[in-house]
Amino acid sequence: MNKQNFITLTLIISGLAFNPAVAEVRADMESAPTQTQKQNRTSVVSGISTVLYNKGLDEDVAEELADNLVEGEDEMYLSLLLQTLDAQNIVSREDVLGYLGHVALHRKKIDLKKYDDLVGMVAQIQKKALDKQTLEALGYIAKVNKQLFA
| 87-108 pLDDT, tens digit each | 889 999 999 999 999 999 998 8
Consecutive H or E run containing 52: helix 44-54
Separation of CA 87 from chain center? 10
Contact 79, 65 (CB under 8 A): no
| 56-93 pLDDT, tens digit each | 989 999 999 988 888 765 778 888 888 989 888 999 99
0.75 exceeded by pTM: no
What is the Cα–Cα distance from 37 to 143, expressed in whole angstroms?
Answer: 24
What is the Cα–Cα distance from 85 to 8, expressed in whole angstroms?
Answer: 14
pLDDT of residue 149: 66
Report domain extents, the chain.
Answer: 3-148
